[in-house]
Amino acid sequence: MQQANALRRLEMILDEAVTNENKNQQSGLVLLKVMKLEPKPQNIIFFYELLNIAKEEATRLKDLPKIQKYLDILEELHQVFVVNHIWETPWNTFTTHIEIRSVLIALDALANYFHDQNPAIHLEQEFLKKLNSEFEALLDNILNSDLSKELKRFLERRIGDILTAIRRYHIDGTQGLEKAAQSLVSNLVMTEHKFTDLDKKNPIYTRTKAWALSLVLFFVPTSAYDIIGAAPDIQGFWIPKFEELVAGQKKIEHITCETPNIQGILEKAADIKDIFDRQPQKSMSGNPTPKALPASKDASEDTFAQTQVTP
């Protein structure tokens, strides 16, 4: 199961950059190429965002021995990227630090620990492309519908948030997409009573609500009510398929037509397994064993002393 946390995304980006990229090239160009972003100076802010999110994740880890040692390595990495002009500095400057301080090993360990404590679904690029196309088409249908102007503006903003979360997936991951979908559903719960009956009965609105609910419920492990802060059930090595989401959306849209109230929809959709036909991928392996960081100087000396043969 590929991990969805920021620590893993940062580790993968730096690993590819260290392994495959030209060490004499400008660091900004190297990182943006690996992140698949346009080679523009303003886009380097996305790397810093990812670095900060990864640090935040690391500080959330609990019951981890010698956590400060891992945090210090991240802090040092952050300082190196701040002190040196990331756009113009040769990539070799950062590569040297990453290799000497065993940054990739530290990030790998932290990512594994974080995944164990905060499992999250990873969405493949093909899934994201299809999802983006679906919501772009949905937004176009909304803007060209006969919904009221107020509801159009509301849905345009919220659908725009979801499209932004899809584009920023390489930074915010699944959590960013979940938050955008949850925000739409939460706002619908609070404001739907203000909509006109004509708007609420409009097929475009019904479809939009069904898509919002489907996207939220797609990440829920067991209970349709456990929306905020829920951790997905990925113990069976489930790899999300867009077709599963589409099939589930159709079921929820059918429920929405019969039960327009969101609370009622959640009650009928309580059994997630009946909504989404999730197929475990048994060929996938489980979580890798966290790699150990290099021993400290004192530990190395102790080990060396223990291996000496007494004359």
pLDDT at residue number 223? 39
Considering only CA atoms, give the Rg of the chain. 23
pLDDT at residue number 11? 95
pLDDT tens by residue, 249-258: 999 998 888 8
pLDDT at residue number 73? 92
Q: CA dist 115 to 168, 234, 245, Å?
A: 20, 11, 23
- Band the pLDDT of 153: cuts 50, 70, 90: very high
Question: What CA dihedral angle connects 152, 155, 161 and 164, to 10 degrees?
Answer: -60
pLDDT tens by residue, 205-228: 999 999 999 999 887 654 333 433
Q: At what angle do helices 149-167 and 125-143 cross, to 10 degrees?
A: 160
What's the pTM value of the predicted model, to 2 decimals?
Answer: 0.74
pLDDT tens by residue, 66-119: 788 888 999 999 899 988 888 989 999 999 999 999 999 999 999 998 988 888
- Average pLDDT of every residue of the chain: 82
Q: CA dist 86 to 72, 79, 91, 101, 262, Å?
A: 20, 11, 8, 18, 48
Q: Is the dihedral of CA 260, 262, 266, 269 positive or negative?
A: positive
